[in-house]
Amino acid sequence: MRTHKALSRSAEVPGRALAVLVALAVALGAAFVLAPSRLAAIGTEGGLSSQRNLVDALSPAFVTYWTSGDQGFPPDLQRVVDYWFRFHVVKGVLAAALLIVFVALAVRLWKAFLRSSGPGAGGRGLASAAILVSVLALVSLAALMANVQGAMAPFSSATALLPLGAPSGQLAGAIDQIKQGLAHYPSPSDENAVALKVMVDDFGRYHAVLAALASVVAVALIGLSVMAWRRFAAADRSNGRTRRTMRSFGVLSAVLALIVIVVALANTDTAADPAPALLGFYKGGL
């Protein structure tokens, strides 16, 4: 009787662990959507927690910075940049936590799928859940990379919020001047050369960060692909489910690694010569 109870308890542990992980994923997902703007706005005057207020504060502050021609940000722009930095830090931490939870969930679900037998509804359900969670893990990884990038270069990240597609008033004039300056960059005769250099350097750092992150992810994906192919080769030929799963992992990881390598190379090129890309950004708001 004790042995039976012990076995029952041990069999319940994975289910309990899955329930805890699912609950954590739901809580962290809600926090990822709702918490960053509120937490980042703590101690910030003027209320920047809504995107409309943020854009309303950013546009005149950006114009002031550009017309000043100084290297340092004026107080109003620094307040926005600091807020945007904290926003990305909070989102990055939550994205990292989500990634850990989804990876833990995916590992458990894939192991359960490989242990299950037969092509019944239970096996299909496990496979579907494992695929969904794996996709969510990839989404969390992308969110983590984007928010690390934003935290490392919050000024360039914040400028993406400017209404570049249809600027008006002083902002339109500033953007026209920026485009003219970038078209002839570097231009020592430009009265805004100092501010323009700061913008170009920060934009280069923005892409250099993503290039570095993408390189690390590409190496990790290549490692996962190699591991999957090794498990595929080591699996018994009679174990078709394991072989098919590992083969799929190997192919998918390799394809994702190639995509990420392309992203890393593209961002490396942009980081090496950021002015043309920044000009394209201000021309099209891309």
Low-confidence ranges of the chain (pLDDT < 70): 1-14, 43-47, 49, 117-122, 188-190, 285-286
Question: What is the rounded CA–CA span in Å between residue 283 and residue 234?
Answer: 54
Residue 213 is predicted with a pLDDT of 97
Residue 1 is predicted with a pLDDT of 41
- Dump pLDDT digits (tens) for 54-100: 888 899 999 999 988 777 899 999 999 999 999 999 999 999 999 99
CB 25 within 8 A of CB 17: no
CB 233 within 8 A of CB 180: no
Question: What is the rounded CA–CA span in Å between residue 208 and residue 3?
Answer: 58
Q: Is the pTM of this model over 0.75?
A: yes
Residue 122 is predicted with a pLDDT of 60
* CA 28 to chain CA mean position, Å: 15
Residue 55 is predicted with a pLDDT of 85
Q: Distance of CA 55 to CAs 17, 40, 233, 271, Å?
A: 43, 15, 55, 26
* Torsional class of 47: left (φ above 0), alpha (ψ -120 to 50), beta (otherwise): left
HSE-CB at 252 with a 13 A cutoff on CA atoms is: 11
